[in-house]
Structure 1
Amino acid sequence: MHNVTLIKGDGIGPSIMDVAVKIIDASGVKINWEEADAGMAAYDKYGTAIPDQTLISIDKNRVAFKGPLTTPVGKGFRSINVALRQKYDLYANIRPARSWKGAQSKFEDIDIIVIRENTEGLYMGLEHYLTKEKDVAESLAVITRKGSERIVDYAFKYARDNGRKKVTLCHKANILKYTSGLFLDVGREVAARYPEIEFDEKIIDATCMHLVMDPHQFDVIVTTNMFGDILSDLTAGLVGGLGLIPGANIGEDTALFEAVHGSAPDIAGKNLANPAAVIMAGVMMLQYLGERDAANRIQAALEKVVNAGDNVTPDLNPSSRAGTIEMGEAIIAEL
């Protein structure tokens, strides 16, 4: 029996998480789901976006399964995702982008893993105004040797353990000579420990160009926090959008699994939301928990439903009349 903190989230979160939980339960894996609140719904209910009881649950279970959370733009409370990553030192963010036969995209046979440093850089939130008038703002990007070494080492170990051939490190060391320069220097040192894996380094803007011109040259990408956030959205666009992209946040003793798309409040409660991304996040969670057989069966069932295109949400097939619930039922039937 595994104990998992379940955070359903905001907007479409509850509906897609309910489907994902039903599918995981149908696989036969025994999970004790401990439901907890976070995000806008928690803020409205408790006056805080991360209630103490939610943190107590994660402290105890050390594994969390989370739906999308709403973060106010330009004001209000800070991103809950960033806060949770920093509190539990979830330093590695893994976002796989893989082609689906049943999803429309401009490329075929894409299989790229973006591994993003998750706790440093500009997303540390070290920002302030420099004037009383608040007309000059400053943000600090902090890069450390320790943080750089462990994320690049994680990327090479991931490549080695998953039969990957190449790791590309993305940086901006030509301009940001201290922060990006440190990340690149450490990356080169780590790469030397893995001579069996090809190492490549690219400037971030050139990486974006190469991804849309010839994405097949990429295998595993490792980069800093903000660059990784941007690149993982770009790679999602290569395979059909964020509705198909899961995310794992891994620390030394805690892990959080999530869909990386937003809460889409405009379609909440309308049985329209695509649950594929959070189902794949559940697959990654099961792999982390050692339940590989169930993970493989769920992934195979999901792929069969998406590739068939009959019982999928309208974003995957505009002519389909199936919704979130019906898509979930079809996946369970395939199981």
Structure 2
Amino acid sequence: MTRLAVVPGDGIGPEVIAQALETVTALRIGIEFDVLDHINAGTFLRTGVALSEEDFTRIAGCDAVLLGAVGDPRVITPAYARGVLLSLRSRLDLYANVRPARLLHDDLSPLRDRANRGIDCVIVRENTEGLYGGSLHRMSGAEVAIDIEVSTARGVRRIVEHAFSLARRGMCMVDKSNAVPSGGALWQRIWRETAADHPNVATYHLFADVAAMRLVADPTEFDVIVTNNSFDDILSDLAAQIAGGLGTAASANVNPDTGFCLCEPVHGSAPDITGTGTANPVGAILSAALLLEHLGYGSEAKAVRSAVDRAVAAGHRTPDLGGSLTTQQAGSAVRAEL
């Protein structure tokens, strides 16, 4: 039996994850849930431990992880978030962050030109290196802060290879090699070498600022974008907004070599709406669909996505999408379509 580790987390995380789990249960495919609802900011504030060794062993012993959100305004140190999410990414070597961006309905797009609204792309992020993989901060009497961005040939090659494996039409590699030449040169060389092994995939390169501009001008030109940790963090949120907003955005953190996967909605813990019953469950439900697909339940994942599309098209939406449904009602509407 497939075992899924579930970490509801903080803020609206437990609210939206509950809807995702109800949706998976409605499929009746026999997935077993191991819910670790004690991994949260409250536990960290009480014990100082973000993720115990026992909890890590439980998670690593499952087939995949569904995570709600990590973050709480009471926690003023980055040690908590790094100790949960970044620790799991690093220790499980989940080096590929995959962020699909697909417009759910035309009226959700902020773009003026109707012909260019239909974004349907995947942004692939190197998840374990770069500025976020182990940046160093040093302060002196002159108040100097130093962050070090590290890219390795192994790290770049494997993320570029995975991005090519997802390409349907084309591949865009994004960097800032005109301003950051050392890392840029490494990415450029490995990208060209890998592209030579995929002659049927159209490839091109953009600087990060130009890519942001063109995502807004005409996102339909993009199929797969691959870039480093920090640039992807920005571009993927921009793409999510173009596709309808962060409340609908799903993501997967994957190690394609081991097959392990952690999926999560990207909206964060949203403390400002926690407990109001207005959180959008779509990002969590679509994250569950990503997870199902990764676990081999392709037809079920497709059914969930289709149900979300129909529910949104019928106007069954939470306030962030212009509707008036509660979190529970929006989840129920998706399951009614399912």
Global fold match (TM > 0.5): yes
Measured on the aligned residues, the alpha-carbon RMSD in Å equals 1.7
Q: Is the 8 A contact 1:165 1:198 kept in 2?
A: yes
TM-score (norm 1): 0.93
Q: Distance in 2 between matches of 1:38 and 1:4?
A: 15
Q: Is the 8 A contact 2:11 2:72 kept in 1?
A: no
Q: What is the SS of the residue equivalent to 1:122?
A: coil
Aligned ranges for residues 1-335 of structure 1 at < 5 Å? 1-36=1-36, 37-70=38-71, 75-77=77-79, 78-79=81-82, 80-101=84-105, 103-107=107-111, 108-131=117-140, 133=141, 135-159=143-167, 164-251=168-255, 252-253=257-258, 254-309=260-315, 311-318=316-323, 320=324, 322-335=325-338
Q: Is the 8 A contact 1:103 1:307 kept in 2?
A: no
TM-score (norm 2): 0.92
Q: How many residues align?
A: 327
Q: Distance in 2 between matches of 1:316 and 1:271?
A: 14
Q: Is the 8 A contact 1:104 1:240 kept in 2?
A: yes
Structure 1 residue 62: Cα displacement: 3.9
Cα distance change of structure 1 residues 134 and 263 upon mapping to structure 2, 3 Å threshold: farther
Q: Distance in 1 between matches of 2:122 and 2:275?
A: 32
Q: Distance in 2 between matches of 1:11 and 1:295?
A: 26
Q: Runs of at least 4 residues of structure 1 off by over 3 A?
A: 71-76
Range 191-200 or range 71-80, more displaced: 71-80
Q: Distance in 1 between matches of 2:218 and 2:302?
A: 29
In structure 2, the gaps of 5 or more residues are 112-116
Which amino acid counterpart does residue 10 of structure 1 have in structure 2?
A: D
Q: Distance in 2 between matches of 1:15 and 1:45?
A: 22
Which amino acid counterpart does residue 116 of structure 1 have in structure 2?
A: R
Q: Distance in 1 between matches of 2:241 and 2:70?
A: 21
Question: Share of identical aligned residues, percent?
Answer: 37
Q: Is the 8 A contact 2:96 2:124 kept in 1?
A: yes
Which amino acid counterpart does residue 284 of structure 1 have in structure 2?
A: L
Q: Distance in 1 between matches of 2:281 and 2:331?
A: 8
